[in-house]
Structure 1
Amino acid sequence: MTLTAFGPDFTFAYDAWLQHPAGLGQLPPDMHGTSVAVIGAGAAGIVAAYELMRLGLRPIVYEAGKFGGRLRSERFEGAEDIIAELGGMRFPRSSTAFWHYLDRVGLQTEAFPNPLTPAAGSTVIDLEGEKHFARTLADLPPLYAEVARAYDAALEEGANFAALRAAVIARDADAVKAIWDPLVHDWDERTFYDFVASSKAFRGLSFRHREVFGQVGFGTGGWDSDFPNSMLEILRVNLLGLDDDQQLVVGGVGQMPKRLWGDAPACTHWPAGTSLASLNGGATRGRVCTLERDDAGGDIRVTDRWGRRDHYKAVVVTCQSHLLTTSIRTEERLFDQKLWMALDRTRYMQAAKTFVMVDRPFWKDTDPVTGQPLMSMTLTDRITRGTYLFDNGPDRPAVICLSYAWMTDALKVLPHSAEKRVDLALQALGAIYPGVDIASHIRGEPICVSWESDENFLGAFKGALPGHYRYNHRMYGHFMQDAMPEEQRGIFLAGDGISWTPAWVEGAVQTALNAVSGVLRHLGGQHDPLNPGPADRWARHGPVCLP
């Protein structure tokens, strides 16, 4: 068996549920064709809409900004298929529910050029002005291997890591919960940095070791931006292999929601050839301005920016939670006040990327002095933090992500134009690669993003702080509505910010499927006994409740 994103908070096999021949469930015939609103056309919204359509419902999709949400592949002007991945760009193989849809629409992947991987070719680590060239960890000074071993030892010491991962791989739900649930009690109120600094493995090392760990980290690079986060969030990343064996989507991941939009699967009720596009008249509706309860019929009224008002028996909300108080006038009684607390306290992290298109993968040229490539995948403490190189073939334009930065480093460039961001990045890289004229290779205009300045996001992804487990539990479990008062039923939350694994599209997909389970039951349907759904497994395998 292989490692998948199975649990650990809710040990439910979403990929197996999706692939079962019995399907996800059945609705009463009189519910077939019922309209359900889906707010947001990102990964969660489109997956939820797609599966609701297959059940025989009519999803009506609303989108305030760009189709695809944070699966945003931006094309460079003047080039047919050269893209910058502004949102999700690297996808771990363990994300099997997400891969279900990649395979469904026929998209291909290849290894992502992460540091010290064969796909990167070579890596340069530049810290405090000291530069190291490496192809593998063994090429770096001994301190780096000491840091790697210390973190592995800290995971084993603090989380019984080998046994926990073995239980996840075996999909032994009870064994996973037996180890994980006590960790929730132990680590909810402690930070990632606390975990590292207080471990026996790191206590025997220097501050420099912890500093290098923060700058270089594990898997994809530096993690010091996450040092204030709850350690539970980082444990999930390690445990589920989310930072390992990552792939990129050839041609851009933004193709996935677009292809699902036009895909015509076999559906209950709907004739052959039905797609989300055809059920929505070929286009999504616009920004949602108001969500409120209709006292007369009990339905939920959705009003869009053009004043169109429609009534729905169920609504799936996939936008970031802060938009429910800043962009959408949401009637307070739709959610319990404790849930409002959780939604409002969600903390979103900042992230910025700066991309340029270049004439060719010139970085592969050999430096006549060193015998090394002119440039490599680069991790640094300078303003760029992470620089990634994307080769589209020897005779085609290539792409450089000059800078991928988070939190404070992302805020440093927030007020600046794209051109200024490129200038700052070139200055930093010029200090690492003196004599390499990157600018002479740039073609067209740069592409940049700062997610915190986008009115439809207000941040890139959730970063749970210590003490936020209870909030996350409320949001993630919101699809279980049997005990709720009538006025709070029928509206369902989804998206990676609702999940336990923010910043990973697998979390968005899994919460979308939870919402589908919730809508199905809300409308009087049920899961097939041969293929129990999330709602059926919740009581036994759901998240532990903290006092």
Structure 2
Amino acid sequence: MTAITAFGPDFPFAYDDWLRHPAGLGRLPADIAGTRVAIIGAGAAGIIAGFELMKLGLRPILYESARFGGRLRSELFEGSDGIVAELGGMRFPASSRGFFHYLDMVGARARPFPNPLSRAAGSTVIDLEGETLFARSLYDLPPLYREIAAAYDRALADQAAFPELQAAIRARDTARIKTLWNPLVAAWDERTFYDFIAGSEAFGALDFRHREVFGQVGFGTGGWDSDFPNSMLEILRVNLLGLDDDQHFVEGGVEQVLHRLWRACPPCAHWPEGTSLAALNGGATRSRAVALARDGAGRITVTDQWGNAEGYDAVLVTCHSHLLTTAIDTDERLFDQKVWMALDRTRYMQAAKTFVMTDRPFWNDIDPATGRPVMSMTLTDRLTRGTYFFDNGDDRPGVICLSYSWMTDALKVLPLSAEKRVDLALKALGQIYPGVDIAAHIRGNPICVSWEADENFLGAFKGALPGHYRYNHRVYGHFMQDRMPAHQRGLFLAGDGISWTPAWVEGAVQTALNAVWGIMTHLGGASAPGNPGPGDLYPELGPVALPDPASHSSHP
């Protein structure tokens, strides 16, 4: 069977094929070579866009407000030799072909992520309402869990033509994808994930307990009740594109992928051999961008926190969209007011993680009384929600993500210190594993994050509410600028929050590549012959437009 990839469904464009084509992504006029373009944000979208723009012969100048890497943040445990806590993205589905293109290019290594009931986890413990279950596969759990899995599969088939749609995605049958997906957009944009579950015949034949357990344990990566208020379209995309399946983590930390791209020296148009993004930026990014405005010559001026102002023919913004109104003094005329509405209405979800380093992977020790590992990947309704174990080898320290929680569960620990978060997590896990002294194995200081408390992120990732499809369509299609008035052209958007797949780095990659095409054509370039880019096929394959009573000049 053909492997599932993140192909569509809203815009079924083969980014992986575009990247691999021997002709390259495109060409620029000779007199444009060396032109400086600004990129705000040195996360996945900013670095990947900068890398490809450099290869085209442009000079990307990167601005970063705080830390290189964005939400690909690999925090090193103090004093350790490469032992990291993945505070942002930590599991990457094999269907993310665009991201793995770059991961493979720089020689990073990935291995299966220890998700619940996966072979990589080895074993899983589910603890709900004080009842603790041990399992190595779904078939080790009581029938209720298999009934839930079957009901969800049936709900997807009955209400979303799931088998047919996924077959079309596997086959990359763009016409069939559009025929099946476009009606679902209108049907489910204004309805929630919970509505999809509770209103289905499959779950209707079951009792509330089944829906409750589904919310706590979910499918793939664990409980999904935090997403119950979201538009069902968000969840359908995750399922259809295999984003919750066959996930991997990057050995040594995913942030290294961006650092390696920053230093990489690919063959480039215009630039001499040995050119890198780092070299073009003097070895360091510029400081925080604090203002965006159009100058008298029609260029976009970026001002940094130290008052340095430079004009650019093109600027790519990859930071959190809310920063354009809270942290960056942005001339309102740079965007259509309907785009401003979409940027400001973007809703972000909270998330918190608590990590500790241990002396060794002690959780693999076998309990002589049960013959089972003393601890397992754990899903629970307690404060920790999800607990994950990372084995770096018997002779190296291990890592435990004591708690990974979202929304209300994340807000419960928001004001607490790292030590207090660890204390609460150990207390909760002590109820599940009463004979295990986790604290005896902890080494060094804990590492925690609450993404909503970071002034540069204001949340972990976008979670579209019902009715947000039109907003997403406006910002996603913003790279198509040929119908815009001149005073709105040249400023581009990218990032997973601009994509259709928030929380997944593939969305950052794909929107970065959209912006590369947009900047290339804005500066007079074009796609390589025989290798049409996303903007070339957007009029044919672009997302379906839902009725909008007001005209929108920047939305094709």
TM band (smaller chain): over 0.9
Match of 1:526 in 2: 526
Q: CA deviation at 1:372?
A: 1.3
Match of 2:444 in 1: 444
Q: CA deviation at 1:528?
A: 1.7
The reply on whether 1:362 has 2:362 as its aligned counterpart is: yes
User: Distance in 2 between the 1:80 and 1:109 partners?
Assistant: 18
User: Distance in 1 between the 2:365 and 2:301 partners?
Assistant: 60
User: Distance in 1 between the 2:233 and 2:405 partners?
Assistant: 22
User: Distance in 1 between the 2:545 and 2:52 partners?
Assistant: 30
Q: Where in structure 2 are there 5+ consecutive unaligned residues? A: 548-556
Match of 1:59 in 2: 60
Name the amino acid aligned to 2:251.
Answer: V
Query: Percent of pairs identical after alignment?
Result: 74
Match of 1:420 in 2: 420
Q: CA deviation at 1:108?
A: 0.7
Q: CA deviation at 1:370?
A: 1.8
User: Distance in 2 between the 1:397 and 1:528 partners?
Assistant: 49
Q: CA deviation at 1:367?
A: 1.4
Match of 1:511 in 2: 511
Name the amino acid aligned to 1:419.
Answer: E
Match of 1:21 in 2: 22
Render the CA deviation track for 1:285-310: whole Å, top value 9, x for unaligned: 0100000011x210000000011100
Once the two structures are superposed, the pairs formed by residues 217-236 of structure 1 within 5 Å of their partners are 217-236=218-237
User: Distance in 2 between the 1:326 and 1:99 partners?
Assistant: 34
Q: TM-score, normalised by structure 2?
A: 0.98
Name the amino acid aligned to 2:66.
Answer: G
Match of 1:404 in 2: 404
User: Distance in 2 between the 1:268 and 1:364 partners?
Assistant: 52
Name the amino acid aligned to 1:544.
Answer: V
Name the amino acid aligned to 1:179.
Answer: L
Q: CA deviation at 1:369?
A: 2.0
Match of 2:271 in 1: 270
Q: CA deviation at 1:413?
A: 0.2
User: Distance in 2 between the 1:504 and 1:280 partners?
Assistant: 28
Match of 1:343 in 2: 343
After TM superposition, where is structure 1 displaced by more than 6 Å over at least 4 residues in a row?
Answer: none
User: Distance in 1 between the 2:305 and 2:73 partners?
Assistant: 23
Render the CA deviation track for 1:397-442: whole Å, top value 9, x for unaligned: 0000000000000000000000000000001000000021000100
Once the two structures are superposed, the pairs formed by residues 192-271 of structure 1 within 5 Å of their partners are 192-271=193-272
Q: CA deviation at 1:177?
A: 0.4
Describe the SS at the equivalent of 1:400.
strand
The reply on whether 1:388 has 2:395 as its aligned counterpart is: no
Render the CA deviation track for 1:14-34: whole Å, top value 9, x for unaligned: 000000011101001110000
Name the amino acid aligned to 2:164.
Answer: A
Match of 2:73 in 1: 72
Describe the SS at the equivalent of 2:6.
coil
User: Distance in 2 between the 1:158 and 1:297 partners?
Assistant: 53
Render the CA deviation track for 1:213-264: whole Å, top value 9, x for unaligned: 0000010000000000000000000000000000010111000110000000
Render the CA deviation track for 1:197-226: whole Å, top value 9, x for unaligned: 101100000100000100000100000000
User: Distance in 2 between the 1:421 and 1:397 partners?
Assistant: 21
Describe the SS at the equivalent of 2:440.
helix
Q: Where in structure 1 are there 5+ consecutive unaligned residues? A: none
Q: CA deviation at 1:529?
A: 2.8
Describe the SS at the equivalent of 1:38.
strand
Once the two structures are superposed, the pairs formed by residues 99-118 of structure 1 within 5 Å of their partners are 99-118=100-119
The alignment covers a number of residue pairs equal to 546
Describe the SS at the equivalent of 1:156.
helix
Moved more, 13-22 or 362-371: 362-371
User: Distance in 2 between the 1:404 and 1:526 partners?
Assistant: 44
Name the amino acid aligned to 1:374.
Answer: V
The reply on whether 1:327 has 2:327 as its aligned counterpart is: yes
Match of 2:552 in 1: none
Q: CA deviation at 1:465?
A: 0.3
Q: CA deviation at 1:387?
A: 0.1
Name the amino acid aligned to 1:430.
Answer: G
Name the amino acid aligned to 1:273.
Answer: G
Q: CA deviation at 1:379?
A: 0.1
Match of 1:465 in 2: 465
